[in-house]
């Protein structure tokens, strides 16, 4: 049979799979994210702070929550994405996925997947906590996030919490009275870019001090 027929057939299959998912999330260089670890950094360098990290609450070291480095020179801890349902290999926009802080070990000896949890001070405020790995096939309404374009800079995105795949709420940053920045759910998004982490950077990261 004509080789062109097989080419068109394969192309149709790829396009059909892609149509069922959002376009690929791009890193700061415009390269699609297929896997690996990525630093999540503010779009604006400077006062917006640095990358993501793990922090305690109210002077306690454990449990851990997802926060942000206050200094723009600190890239923090990279993240990994997993568990999206589409058959495409890249990390898709606007599709449910799990996010994990890619750190070798923590002082609290706990997994570092993102989960939404109520604040210990205000039950109306929801924070991003570090928690266990979601079970395969688990339908969790508290561990699904989506990556969405901000509409500004080409590779600029925001992260949203999307229970049941819809009714998304933007993930933002809240700075408390002690100057500690934490990720929270709110109306103001945190515009970010993704920078690929080198293997040597992720293999050496160990969370020993909060």
Host H or E run for residue 201: helix 199-203
Specify whether the CB–CB gap between 66 and 77 falls below 8 A. Answer: no
Confidence of residue 122 (pLDDT cuts 50, 70, 90): low
Structure confidence at residue 36 as a pLDDT band (50, 70, 90): very high
Write down the pLDDT at residue 138: 65
pLDDT of 105 higher than 80: no
Q: For the residues 130-149, what does the mean pLDDT come to?
A: 84
Average pLDDT, the chain: 83
**Which pair of tokens denotes residue 168?**
């998304």
The ranges assigned to domains in the chain are: 3-203
Are the C-beta atoms of residues 79 and 52 closer than 8 Å to each other?
A: yes
Residue 114 contacts by C-beta under 8 Å, 6 or more apart in sequence?
Answer: 66, 98, 99, 100, 101, 128, 129, 130, 131, 143, 145
Reported as a single tens digit per residue, the pLDDT across 171-209 is 999 998 888 999 999 989 999 999 999 876 776 666 544
- The pair of structure tokens assigned to 159 is 């992260």
DSSP-derived 3-state class of residue 136: coil
In this predicted structure, the answer to whether residue 145 has a pLDDT above a threshold of 60 is: yes
Distance (Å, rounded) from C-alpha 25 to C-alpha 18?
13
Task: Count Cα neighbours of 36 within 13 Å in the Cβ-side half-sphere.
Answer: 19
The pLDDT value given to residue 169: 94
Reported confidence tier of residue 10, pLDDT bands at 50, 70, 90: very low
pLDDT tens-digit series, residues 77-98: 999 999 888 778 899 999 999 9
**DSSP H or E segment with residue 11:** helix 3-19
Specify whether the CB–CB gap between 41 and 51 falls below 8 A: yes
- CB 140, CB 161: distance < 8 Å: no
Query: Mean of the pLDDT values across residues 132-142?
Result: 76
CATH 2.80.10.50 applies to domain 3-203:
yes
What's the rounded mean pLDDT across residues 9-24?
50
Calculate the CA dihedral of residues 175, 178, 179, 180 and round it to 10 degrees. -70
């Amino acid at each position: 049979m004509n080789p062109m027929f097989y080419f068109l057939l394969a192309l149709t299959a790829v396009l059909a799979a892609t149509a069922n998912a959002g376009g690929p999330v791009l890193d700061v260089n415009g390269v699609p994210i297929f896997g690996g670890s990525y630093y999540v950094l503010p779009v604006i360098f400077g006062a917006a702070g640095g990358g993501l990290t793990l922090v305690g609450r109210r002077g306690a070291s454990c449990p851990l929550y997802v926060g942000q480095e206050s200094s723009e020179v600190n890239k923090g801890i990279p993240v990994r994405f997993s568990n999206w349902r589409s058959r495409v290999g890249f990390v898709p926009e606007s599709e449910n996925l799990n996010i994990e802080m890619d750190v070798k070990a923590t002082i609290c000896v706990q997994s570092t997947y993102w989960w939404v949890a109520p604040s210990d001070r205000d039950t109306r405020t929801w924070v991003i906590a570090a928690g266990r790995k979601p079970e395969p096939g688990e339908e969790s309404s508290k561990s699904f996030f989506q990556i969405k374009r901000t509409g500004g800079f080409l590779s600029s995105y925001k992260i949203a919490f999307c229970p049941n795949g819809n009714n998304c709420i933007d993930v933002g940053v809240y700075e408390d009275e002690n100057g500690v920045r934490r990720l929270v759910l709110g109306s103001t998004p945190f515009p970010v870019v993704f920078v690929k982490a080198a293997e040597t950077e992720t293999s050496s990261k160990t969370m020993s001090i909060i």
